[in-house]
Amino acid sequence: MKIEDLPLEAYRITLQKNNPNLEVSYIHTDSRKISQGDIYCVNESFADRTPNFLEDALSKKANAVLIKKGSKYSFDTNKFEIVMESEDDPETIVGYLASALKNHPSKFLKVVAVTGTNGKTSVTHILYDLLTKENKKCGIIGTIQTYYDGKSIETGYTTPDAPFLHEIFYDMKMAGVEYVFMEASSHGLKLGRLNGVEFYAAIFTNLTVDHLDFHINMEDYRNSKLKLFELLEKSSVPEKFGIVYKDFPGGLEFVEILKSKNCSYPIYILGGENFELKNIQITSFETQYIIVDIQKKVFRKIQTNLLGNFNAINSALAYIACEKFGFSSDRVAKNLTNLKSVPGRFQKIYDNSGEKLAIVDYAHTPDALENVIQSARELTQKRLVTLFGCGGDRDKTKRPLMGEIAEKYSDLVIVTSDNPRTEDQEKIIDDIVSGFSKNYTNFYRISDRSEAIQKGVKLLKQGEILLVCGKGHEDYQILGKKKIYFSDEEEIKKAFRKN
């Protein structure tokens, strides 16, 4: 494609230097991915390494460079055949250019994005399972994996960077994928990784304390989530829609802000106005509830094999989405009864006798921890032991909150490491323990996660539950700057064999 064929004016890009005989192939923000004929987009957050990355892009025969107007690195771009300068941060533009260079592949897909502090992975996997049962060819992009057409791809992020994302969409289109269910992280939304995507639907699950190491405050965090609905507004896809869960602290405010934007598409609200959940009941085998279509005055009983109050909400959001996609409500309700379990999400592991139960869950925020402990409490009248830690080099404000919640809802707490990264894991545990009440002593602190799991299993008696939180599906632990193999599931099974 010739550089003049790109929508430069629309994104306030000016050509400072051009070679009309050259074409450009694609665009990347990572110089290691550059191929001959590509555009290199300068990401100035790498600061003093930028000149090295520019040289790397040139050595790989990049034809063009995109840089912010007035950048102190502009002089270093003179060796490129084509130089583009943008008024805005190039990272917020790269997605639109990547989409154009791939002929807007997301237009040919039904891209459904799920955002929220908790529930993104579960909702995307439930939707993938439901529509696969409808014989639709689907893809999924998220925390656990990016998967489609029999291929599993490691992206490194919940939401891949924009050039990689549009390459995935292009490959999905070529593979005949129809529906794509993706997680939209607040980081990805704020950094512009989803810019240029033509969305079919947006689903919002909740907003609770998290990522305050990245966002300056909760308002910034909320506004990043709202960006998904702004992108949906820009989408040219017909019959697009949004779904919002409202029944959480701050949910009403989120809905009112969204309504104030006068969106051109319908927004369906779970928790009043459009849909409501009633009579949630949890057993050892299933979750039951009634979903009410308020306007149609239709009451439908839903049963799902996924356990927990949070999975009532997750499955209800998926049910509403499928109904709006145009699928039979009867068939969707039937298929909800036998869903594939989501790895590391309220995953049950029994000992050989079937009398002792451990549950693995990814809960790593205060709200998620509270929900998962309360759901586990529904499964036993006996002792509930909660084991968890908090990640290092991440939001510290949530640590004492999670300690407080664990004390409130558990019979015994084991505080351990999660991914301490470069922080002292004992200091992380100190932060968690500071949330316990002054005279609380019914806890253990065992920094070695393997030893902590062994202790938790050893303490279990018949009918009791060990809830292991924080890592879920992850098969690694980050100690310092090293990533070692570690699986909660495997450690629990190993401990069960010993005890």
Q: Are residues 452 and 483 in the same domain?
A: yes
Query: Rounded to two decimals, what is the model's pTM?
Result: 0.88
Q: Are residues 255 and 186 in the same domain?
A: yes
CATH code, domain with 212: 3.40.1190.10
What's residue 194's pLDDT?
Answer: 95
Q: Are residues 287 and 369 in the same domain?
A: no
pLDDT digits over 37-88, tens only? Answer: 999 999 877 667 888 999 999 999 999 999 999 988 888 888 999 999 999 9
What's residue 47's pLDDT?
Answer: 65
Within a domain: residue 78? yes
Q: Are residues 69 and 24 in the same domain?
A: yes
Within a domain: residue 95? no
Higher pLDDT, 143 or 326: 326
pLDDT greater than 80 at residue 218 = no
| Lowest mean pLDDT, pick from 105-119, 244-258, 407-421, 456-470 | 244-258
pLDDT greater than 70 at residue 198 = yes
Q: Where are the alpha helices (DSSP H) in 326-414?
A: 329-335, 366-377, 398-409
pLDDT tier at 410 (50, 70, 90 boundaries)?
A: very high
Q: Are residues 299 and 403 in the same domain?
A: no
What's residue 46's pLDDT?
Answer: 67
Find the mean pLDDT for residues 2-15. Answer: 92
Last residue of a domain, one of 26, 55, 90: 90
Q: Are residues 166 and 221 in the same domain?
A: yes
Q: Are residues 140 and 61 in the same domain?
A: no
What is the average pLDDT score of the chain? 93
| Lowest mean pLDDT, pick from 42-46, 266-270, 440-444 | 42-46
Within a domain: residue 17? yes
Find the mean pLDDT for residues 108-130. Answer: 95
Within a domain: residue 398? yes
Contact present, 169 and 106 (Cβ < 8 Å): yes
Last residue of a domain, one of 49, 67, 90: 90
C-alpha span between 249 and 218 (Å, rounded): 12
C-alpha span between 346 and 360 (Å, rounded): 6
Q: How many domains does the chain have?
A: 3
pLDDT digits over 276-303, tens only? Answer: 999 999 988 899 999 999 999 999 999 9
Find the mean pLDDT for residues 437-463. Answer: 96
Q: Which residues make Cβ contacts (< 8 Å) with residue 232, sequence separation at least 6? A: 199, 201, 202, 240, 242, 263, 265
Last residue of a domain, one of 338, 368, 389: 338
Q: Are residues 20 and 160 in the same domain?
A: no
pLDDT tier at 209 (50, 70, 90 boundaries)?
A: low
Q: Are residues 226 and 84 in the same domain?
A: no
Within a domain: residue 97? no
Q: Counting Cβ atoms within 10 Å, is residue 238 exposed (0-12), middle (13-18) or buried (19+)?
A: exposed
Find the mean pLDDT for residues 441-464. Answer: 96
What's residue 74's pLDDT?
Answer: 86
Long-range contacts of 458-462 (CB under 8 A, 24+ apart): 458/495, 458/499, 459/385, 459/412, 460/351, 460/356, 460/358, 460/385, 460/499, 461/356, 461/382, 461/383, 462/353, 462/355, 462/356, 462/382
Q: Are residues 358 and 322 in the same domain?
A: no
Contact present, 260 and 254 (Cβ < 8 Å): no
pLDDT greater than 80 at residue 452 = yes
Q: Are residues 354 and 468 in the same domain?
A: yes
Within a domain: residue 249? yes
CATH code, domain with 59: 3.40.1390.10
Task: Give the strand pairing for 146-148 and 241-245.
Answer: unpaired
Residue type, 91: E
pLDDT greater than 80 at residue 157 = no
Higher pLDDT, 316 or 153: 316
What's residue 10's pLDDT?
Answer: 92
Residue type, 315: S
pLDDT cut 90: percent of the chain above it = 81
- DSSP category for residue 222: H
pLDDT cut 70: percent of the chain above it = 99
What's residue 359's pLDDT?
Answer: 96
pLDDT tier at 248 (50, 70, 90 boundaries)?
A: confident
CATH code, domain with 428: 3.90.190.20
Within a domain: residue 96? no
Contact present, 496 and 349 (Cβ < 8 Å): yes
Within a domain: residue 155? yes
Residues spanned by the domain of 410: 347-498
How many CA atoms, within 13 angstroms, populate the side-chain half-sphere of residue 225?
26
Higher pLDDT, 209 or 226: 226
Q: Are residues 175 and 258 in the same domain?
A: yes
